[in-house]
Amino acid sequence: MAMAQDPMEGKLMSGDLMSKLTDDILVDIISRLPYKSTCCCKCVSTRWRDLFSHPDHRKKLPQPLAGFFHDGCNNNQFPKTARYFTKVSGEGSPLVDPSLSFLPQYDSLDILDCCNGLLLCRCWKTADRKTLDYVVCNPATQKWVLVSATDWSSKVNVARLGFDPTVSSHFHVFEFIDEKAWGIDESELTPCDGRIETLAIYSSVVGVWKHQSLDSFAFAIPKNSKGVFVNGVLHSATSYKFIAAVNVEGNEWRFIDIRVPPYYDDARDDAIFVSQGQLYLANIYAGSELLVWALEDYNVEEWTLKHNVSLLELFGARKLCFICQLGRDCQIQWGKTPYLPYVPLFSEALADGSRSELGRSFLSCDG
């Protein structure tokens, strides 16, 4: 007669089997799991947790939100304004150098967007505000690629980055050129303030810009709203309560209504973000409740309420600065500061079709 196995003995045997797996095999297994499951894996043991930060394995494993790039002001230092990186924990040294000192020397540098570990920067060469470059860089690896500016770049308010490392090492830069930047005479401007006249798209696949006129469309994009790049499409919340979506070729457009109930004027219509491949929207209802919606059916454009919570319950009786991961302006005493969420990417490749080795070329501070 067979003896029943002690359940505890079975667990120990299973644990022993897992301990015999090499780090490479464990990493390969974990890398195939959904993101939520990988987060649970960090809690199994110290060994498993350390796999995520180890230089030999972190390239294959998804990384969590590390912190935020933002500008700050201190009257007791010079210069008074500086760029900072604040970790999610709020403690310890910055994960990356917020000054991006590995880049070539420029008179000034603005971070315009962050997408899946890459930053889009606008870099001013001299005191002449018309002389500039775009730079796409990876702070985690200190690799960067120079992108030549267009004739309108110095006047453009909205530029966004499109990049998906799970699909390709190539990236796209989107310039939304409004009527004034395009040079339309004031007497001929439309009633739509800040209306986007032309879209310029740079593709690192071919290394050139192409332009598309938007004569048949009428929309404007808030300067510091957050763009969302998912499934090869850039989504931008407009000033008119809908999302403008365009593919990387610029030849397919979609306009997604975001008038989710309740219809309040203070709805945060530019608070869009992505999670697990889905588009999400956050609203503040009546100034007291946070609502989070998901676009579960992209084809029929139907929003579903996923979460709602009282701000008082969530934060208590405090004066709030909303950061979330939405990239919206944060109102503080001295002005408005955009907070850009940053998730590190440890992949080495940063492709640029204008370089000699397509798909593998990248620049660094060593040239």
The torsion of the CA quartet 228, 230, 234, 240, rounded to 10 degrees, works out to: -60
What single DSSP character describes residue 142? Answer: T
Return the pLDDT at 1.
Answer: 47
Long-range contacts of 103-108 (CB under 8 A, 24+ apart): 103/135, 103/137, 103/144, 103/365, 104/365, 106/133
At 199-211, the pLDDT tens digits run: 999 999 999 999 9
Calculate what percentage of the chain has a pLDDT beyond 90. Answer: 28
Q: In the predicted model, what is the mean pLDDT of the chain?
A: 78
Structure tokens belonging to residue 162: 């499109």
Return the pLDDT at 328.
Answer: 32
Helices H, strands E: what count in the chain? 6, 22
pLDDT band at 326; cut points 50, 70, 90: very low
Task: Report the run of H or E that residue 234 belongs to, with start and end.
Answer: strand 233-237
Rg (CA), the chain: 23
Residue 273 has pLDDT above 90, yes or no: no
Residue 35 has pLDDT above 70, yes or no: no
Residue 337 has pLDDT above 60, yes or no: no
Higher pLDDT, 94 or 351: 94
Pick from 183-192, 295-304, 330-339: least confident: 330-339
Kindly state the average pLDDT of the residues 181-195: 87
Residue 279 has pLDDT above 60, yes or no: yes
